[in-house]
Chain A
């Protein structure tokens, strides 16, 4: 068994790389795949919080690389899904603690044990980003539909292409359909036209994400969460299933929707 190493990156910070990693991890595990989410953001550990595993960490990625523990000892099993694991980053070190070659060696070890190895990349285009990119078989670029995030995503794609890491695929996160409709936000078509890479997911802005992050239970676990549904769809597409993109939610209240039904021309 040889697992697929997928790096999740963005260029810009705060667009939802960590949330995307955790939720795609959950989505793949729900499909019965064995998954490990690796936090490569050494010094700025976050993925453990989003997955709700922060109080179970004993060893971390740097401990493994520096030989203070075996790889298996550092893996933290998810509370709900038995096939989902986390390899946490060290919080007390920085990006220089690990080299690209060490990341490669580590991922080659993980590849033997898991179907999917998801690498949550740090923001920026410096050492940490390059270390997370080095072992990648596939790349997922996360962006939000605003000009600064898209420009940074474009830069990140440039690096991915220069290192011939195969075609990167795109997740557009935090789409606000009311703003798109008003023309105040870039549309999906705008973003895809500019970045010119394959779209693999559209995730609507959803307040269940904030709640689920604070609770440490990724939204993909929640059957009712719209964003969770979008992330589960991404996981399905990664396994080769054809899943149509779901329609964007209408943010209007029920009254407005009712009036639109009664008088279709009014809006």
Chain B
């Protein structure tokens, strides 16, 4: 079996590539490899290349801790998945081994404005977005400094924490915290709203069962006068009440049908 940990020296410095296998094995292997030539690595800087592996903050920290044990500093994590990149970013790590040129795949992350200056680690900036296309199961933790869009469900025991807004194209059953950096204008939207808890900025709300909510209609949670209120998203009106209402939608269907004759 090929080793799941490959250490390479390149023009960009030392790169550690992680292969297949569970993380515990990789941590052990990494520890062993570093230990074999501890003197060579001591005081060095390495970048991790993780491919399509999904890593959360804790897992990246665990890798960083093994490196730290051998006095090696982790400075970058290069990953295919935007979620893994976001986790690395939230730890203040670079997400590209060549800092000058970002990989083109980043274009999937919507940006409202091109921000040249990056906020330091831990800073919350509601100007970047992270799109995640999978269901977050129990134990999953998604933390991002900007907005988060989940195409899928957020199950009980999973948490989504964003510096900006949270949009769930699915059912929210876990925990959602929007405006985690203190942005009181942040909102949480979900197609079906059955969370364990929602938080906006510093305000916490446990979910009360309301008839309209349990019926599974799309809702938006906003902060109003220091309280989190849940507003149903009405078709054609929206929670903000700005969109023009479609007049006589029943008849428009009839006219369309007539025109096709």
Partners in one complex: yes
- Asked if A115 is an interface residue, CB under 8 A from chain B, the answer is no
The 8 Å CB contact of A155, one of B22, B135, B137, B173, is: B137
A147 to B138, CA, bound (A): 12
A100 to B153, CA, bound (A): 32
Instruction: Specify which of B1, B137, B153, B156 lies most central, judged by the most chain A CB atoms within 10 Å of its CB.
Output: B137
- Asked if A32 is an interface residue, CB under 8 A from chain B, the answer is no
Expressed in whole angstroms, the minimum distance between the Cβ of B57 and any Cβ of chain A is: 15
- Asked if B54 is an interface residue, CB under 8 A from chain A, the answer is yes
Residues 117-174 (chain B) with a chain A CB within 8 angstroms: 135, 137-140, 153, 155-157, 173
The 8 Å CB contact of A154, one of B1, B24, B138, is: B138
- Asked if B25 is an interface residue, CB under 8 A from chain A, the answer is yes
A100 to B22, CA, bound (A): 9
Chain A residues closer than 8 Å to B25, beta-carbon distance: 100-101
A27-45 contact mask (Cβ, 8 Å, vs B): 1 or 0: 0000000000000000000
Chain B residues closer than 8 Å to A194, beta-carbon distance: 153, 155-156, 173
A154 to B135, CA, bound (A): 10
- Asked if A152 is an interface residue, CB under 8 A from chain B, the answer is yes
A196 to B139, CA, bound (A): 16
- Nearest residue, chain A, Cβ from B156: A151
- Asked if A91 is an interface residue, CB under 8 A from chain B, the answer is no
A245 to B205, CA, bound (A): 41
Would you list 6 pairs from A and B whose C-beta atoms are within 8 A, ordered by A residue?
Answer: A134-B22, A151-B156, A154-B156, A158-B139, A194-B155, A194-B173
Chain B residues closer than 8 Å to A162, beta-carbon distance: 54
Q: Is the pair A158, B22 in contact by a Cβ cutoff of 8 Å?
A: no
Expressed in whole angstroms, the minimum distance between the Cβ of B138 and any Cβ of chain A is: 4
Q: Is the pair B54, A155 in contact by a Cβ cutoff of 8 Å?
A: no
- Nearest residue, chain B, Cβ from A161: B137
Q: Is the pair B138, A158 in contact by a Cβ cutoff of 8 Å?
A: yes
Chain A residues closer than 8 Å to B22, beta-carbon distance: 100, 130, 133-134, 163
Chain A residues closer than 8 Å to B157, beta-carbon distance: 151, 154-155
Please give the number of chain B residues whose Cβ is less than 8 angstroms from any Cβ of chain A in the complex. Answer: 15
Instruction: Specify which of B24, B25, B138 lies most central, judged by the most chain A CB atoms within 10 Å of its CB.
Output: B138
A151 to B138, CA, bound (A): 6
Residues 27-85 (chain B) with a chain A CB within 8 angstroms: 54
Q: Is the pair B156, A147 in contact by a Cβ cutoff of 8 Å?
A: yes
Chain A residues closer than 8 Å to B138, beta-carbon distance: 151-152, 154-155, 158
A153 to B24, CA, bound (A): 21
Residues 162-216 (chain B) with a chain A CB within 8 angstroms: 173
- Asked if A127 is an interface residue, CB under 8 A from chain B, the answer is yes
Known: A134-B22, A151-B138; 4 extra A-B contacts, CB below 8 A, are A101-B25, A152-B138, A154-B157, A158-B138
Chain A residues closer than 8 Å to B1, beta-carbon distance: 101
A154 to B138, CA, bound (A): 6
A94-131 contact mask (Cβ, 8 Å, vs B): 1 or 0: 00000011000000000000000000000000010010
- Nearest residue, chain A, Cβ from B24: A130
Instruction: Specify which of B54, B155, B157, B173 lies most central, judged by the most chain A CB atoms within 10 Å of its CB.
Output: B155
- Asked if A157 is an interface residue, CB under 8 A from chain B, the answer is yes
Chain B residues closer than 8 Å to A100, beta-carbon distance: 22, 25
Instruction: Specify which of A100, A101, A155, A161 lies most central, judged by the most chain B CB atoms within 10 Å of its CB.
Output: A155
Expressed in whole angstroms, the minimum distance between the Cβ of B141 and any Cβ of chain A is: 11
A78 to B1, CA, bound (A): 35
Instruction: Give 9 closest A-B pairs by Cβ, nearest first.
Output: A158-B137, A154-B138, A155-B138, A155-B139, A154-B137, A151-B138, A151-B157, A154-B155, A151-B156
Answer whether A127 and B24 are a contact pair too, CB < 8 Å, given A151-B156, A162-B54. Answer: yes
Chain A residues closer than 8 Å to B140, beta-carbon distance: 158
A163 to B1, CA, bound (A): 17
A163 to B22, CA, bound (A): 7
Residues 133-184 (chain A) with a chain B CB within 8 angstroms: 133-134, 147, 150-152, 154-155, 157-158, 161-163
Chain B residues closer than 8 Å to A147, beta-carbon distance: 156
Instruction: Specify which of A134, A152, A162 lies most central, judged by the most chain B CB atoms within 10 Å of its CB.
Output: A162
A130 to B140, CA, bound (A): 17
Expressed in whole angstroms, the minimum distance between the Cβ of B254 and any Cβ of chain A is: 36
A133 to B22, CA, bound (A): 10
Expressed in whole angstroms, the minimum distance between the Cβ of B250 and any Cβ of chain A is: 31
